[in-house]
Homo-oligomer: A and B are copies of this chain.
Amino acid sequence: MGLIVAAAISGTPAWSAEPDSRRQRGEETLLKTTGAQGREVIDSLKRISPELGDWIVDFAYGDVFSNPGLPLCTRELATISALTALGNAQPQLKVHIEGALNVGCKPDEIIQVITQMAVYAGFPSALNGIAAAKEVFEKRRVGPAFSDPAQRRTPAG
């Protein structure tokens, strides 16, 4: 396609130049990172704002999260740090803590980025981030390596 060629010339990575595959790539990355949970969020939007659901799949997951420029675990840690710092999106923070586990981040890494936010956004943000992690970890029966010798083989370990 001419568009791909043009992209290669203009400096845009060729992978993002295939418009037909945004939806498919987004669906795949959404599934890989959020499992059934992301699909449920999208489906819940169907009767009120299907466009918002489409944008999440096509743009947020198809264009942004699927970009191979960063490993998925690093992307999830960056999202966790931002949502912990903002402190106004607890449901999404939990989704991304689960997403981080799904793509192979270790519980310890998640705790490190959340507690680091004490420095950059204050202790209340860090505490509420840890509360979200605690809830997800208990549901998933995972935890930091120190907490239980049996858990030292964490998902990504």
Q: Which residue of B lies closest to A144 (CB)?
A: B48
Give me 5 other A-B pairs in contact (C-beta within 8 A), A11-B46, A74-B109 excluded: A16-B51, A55-B64, A64-B115, A69-B109, A91-B124
| Copies, count | 6
Complex: how many Å from CA A111 to CA B53? 13
Which residues of A73-112 have CB atoms within 8 Å of chain B's CB atoms? 74-75, 77-89, 91-92, 108-109, 111-112
As a 0/1 sequence over residues 54 to 75 of chain A, the CB contacts with chain B under 8 angstroms (1 = contact) are 1110011001110101100011
A31 at the interface (CB under 8 A from B): no
Interface string of A38-59 (1 = CB under 8 A from B): 0001000111111110111001
